[in-house]
Amino acid sequence: MTDSALDLGEPPQPERADAYQVLARKYRPQTFSQLIGQDAMVTTLANAIKRDRLAHAFLLTGVRGVGKTSTARLIAKALNCVGPDGEGGPTIDPCGVCEPCRAIAEGRHIDVIEMDAASHTGIDDVREIIEGSRYAAVSARYKIYIIDEVHMLSKPAFNGLLKTLEEPPAHVKFLFATTEVNKVPVTVLSRCQRFDLRRISADQLAEHFAGVVEKEGVDAEPEALALIARAAEGSARDGLSILDQAIAHAGMEGGGVRAGAVRDMLGLSDRGAIRELFGLLLGGDAEGALKALRRQYDYGVDPQAVLKTLLETVHGATLAKVGTPPEAAQSTEEREALQHWGTLLSFPMLHRLWQLLLKGHEEVSRAALPIEACEMALLRVVHAATLPDPGDLAKRLAEGGEGLSRPQQVGAPAPSGATAELQQPQPEVVPLPGDVRALWKLLGDHGRNELQAQVRNHLRPIRFEPPELEISALRPLPADFARDLGNELRAITDTNWKITTANAPGEPSLREREKQDDDDFKAQVRADPVVSAAFEAFPDAAIDWEKTKRSM
């Protein structure tokens, strides 16, 4: 038997399944019409292309996942598209079928060079770009350099790029993308046409996700898509990644994408349970509120997520109070509850709730015992709900004190239909100071001693019309003085202050006035005939100024 008779050939190989492509890559926009939420930028680019007023460098900035890199690739396609017949020019609607469009979309075009500045930060990397930019494009209309996360370039790298960036060859275009535009040198910013890509609204994201699940053949509840859109925080990529996870979770459950499953997957608190908790807080039911919180905690909900949803509830009630239209993603129950709370709660109470919950959220985020810190934060809210209303208290005192034992209460509905009652505490009314000295005293009375000292030493008023204040910006005024003073005065007086600075001398500070008054006093004393005569008789005599001031 020969060897060839024993040769059975290679064993059959199983067919290789196509690699799964995540939704964020699969549905990356291939045309400007697919780029959601950036209409203003698309319009500007379309006009620039139509009028042949193309900048030599573009800077795209925005939060993660809004489409900066995708936009850069679309601009590269728009500038290099030749159309199906090979005779076209730059267009805002690239055909997607010509060789430049297909090569750019597939990341293989020799004249479109992408570089990640996070891993190529040095001057040597930039030197390669400078050298390469001198040569004409091989097959495209423009040689295009796309530099992602450009803010991570080193200072020498930025300096090396400046001259080429200011006067690049006519065949070269630069496209920069960054999430931290504040770290890009001003010298670079001034040489680029800047586009700020906006966060994508939750409504637009939910609509986009609905189209994606339809194409994927997946059943999804609108509320589930709304939850994913909210969790994405304006980022299409983040939202598609969450949607990918939700679809996989739905496959394990054997059903579609459901709101309850998404809520569990994201660790979000149930909004119905939060409305019940909010009603208990407003009603001053400490025991019930803590039990409701523990139920959420036992279900695996993070305490910080509970406080975040409570903050969203206060914000929603405030928007309902000012008449803002409700969000489309809100359920009927949530919309009715927010409108009821917005009608019955006063603005001071809403502001107080916001501040208390916000402080609690910050404490829980850094607490060693998160659930305990959350409980203490909710107890503070309950305590605030039982405080008397200062305005109502003053009114009743003026009327002779009748009914002081029963402060006024406001209904706060829980989801079950029960009505909780709420006392309406309002912050104590602090009169606005009438002059700088009154302002200085107000800060001291409320324990702002360091800021009080700065007011005495540095504040030179130009215009004093509370709550508006214009002060001199001349040194030695601290850099953050106006901001810090405005924040503290807002906290003390419950009034928004507008404090501006100007490069004018202004009136003297309190310290300068005191010194001037002291000098005037001493001059007046020395000019007194008796004192003059005493110094003539006793030239080495000295005046005890403290005793002199006390005696006069």
pLDDT tens digits, 500-512: 888 888 888 888 8
Per-residue pLDDT band for 391 (boundaries 50, 70, 90) equals low
The reported pLDDT for the residue numbered 230 is 81
Show the domains of the chain with their CATH numbers.
Answer: 23-196 (3.40.50.300), 202-266 (1.10.8.60), 271-423 (1.20.272.10), 436-507 (3.30.300), 511-551 (no CATH)
Q: Which residues partner with 112 through β-bridges?
A: 144
- 167-205 exposure pattern, b = at least 16 Cβ within 10 A, e = fewer: ebeebbbbbbbbeebeebeeebeebbeebebebbebeeb
Q: Go through the chain and tell me how many residues it has.
A: 552
The reported pLDDT for the residue numbered 330 is 66
pLDDT above 70: residue 441? yes
With contact defined as beta carbons under 8 Å apart, do 306 and 446 qualify?
no
- The amino acid present at 223, given as its one-letter code, is E
Cα–Cα nearest to 263, from 279, 281, 242 = 242
SS3 58: strand
Percent with pLDDT over 70 in the chain: 82
Give the dihedral sign, CA 203/205/211/214.
negative
Structure tokens given for 499:
């404090």
The CA radius of gyration of the chain, in Å to the nearest whole number, is 34
The reported pLDDT for the residue numbered 146 is 92
- Measured CA to CA in angstroms, residue 212 lies from 209, 247, 252, 277 at distances of 5, 11, 20, 35
pLDDT above 90: residue 300? no
Q: Is the pTM of the predicted complex or chain greater than 0.75?
A: no
- The amino acid present at 357, given as its one-letter code, is L
The reported pLDDT for the residue numbered 418 is 38
Give the dihedral sign, CA 45/48/52/55.
negative
The reported pLDDT for the residue numbered 545 is 65
With contact defined as beta carbons under 8 Å apart, do 152 and 125 qualify?
no
Q: What is the mean pLDDT of residues 11-27?
A: 70
pLDDT above 60: residue 393? no
Percent with pLDDT over 90 in the chain: 12
With contact defined as beta carbons under 8 Å apart, do 261 and 249 qualify?
yes
State how far the Cα of 335 lies from the Cα of 355, in Å rounded to an integer: 23
pLDDT in tens, 337-349: 888 888 888 888 8
| Strands 172-178, 57-61: pairing kind | parallel
State how far the Cα of 53 lies from the Cα of 178, in Å rounded to an integer: 24
- The amino acid present at 418, given as its one-letter code, is A
With contact defined as beta carbons under 8 Å apart, do 317 and 410 qualify?
no
Please provide the average confidence, as pLDDT, over all residues in the chain: 81
Q: Which residues partner with 138 through β-bridges?
A: none
pLDDT in tens, 361-382: 999 988 889 999 999 999 999 8
Structure tokens given for 420:
């909780």
pLDDT above 50: residue 414? no
Structure tokens given for 279:
């009603």
With contact defined as beta carbons under 8 Å apart, do 82 and 140 qualify?
no
Q: What is the mean pLDDT of residues 507-525?
A: 84
The reported pLDDT for the residue numbered 531 is 73
The reported pLDDT for the residue numbered 269 is 63
pLDDT above 70: residue 396? no
The reported pLDDT for the residue numbered 311 is 92
Residue 220 is classified by DSSP as B
Count CB-CB contacts under 10 A for residue 444: 15
State how far the Cα of 112 lies from the Cα of 79, in Å rounded to an integer: 11
Per-residue pLDDT band for 398 (boundaries 50, 70, 90) equals low
| Strands 468-472, 461-465: pairing kind | antiparallel
Q: Which residue has the tokens 């034992």?
A: 405
| Strands 57-61, 112-116: pairing kind | unpaired
Cα–Cα nearest to 334, from 239, 465, 227 = 227
Provide the terminal-to-terminal Cα distance of the chain, rounded to the nearest Å: 134
With contact defined as beta carbons under 8 Å apart, do 36 and 208 qualify?
yes
DSSP secondary structure string for all residues of 186-201: HHHHTTSEEEEPPPPP
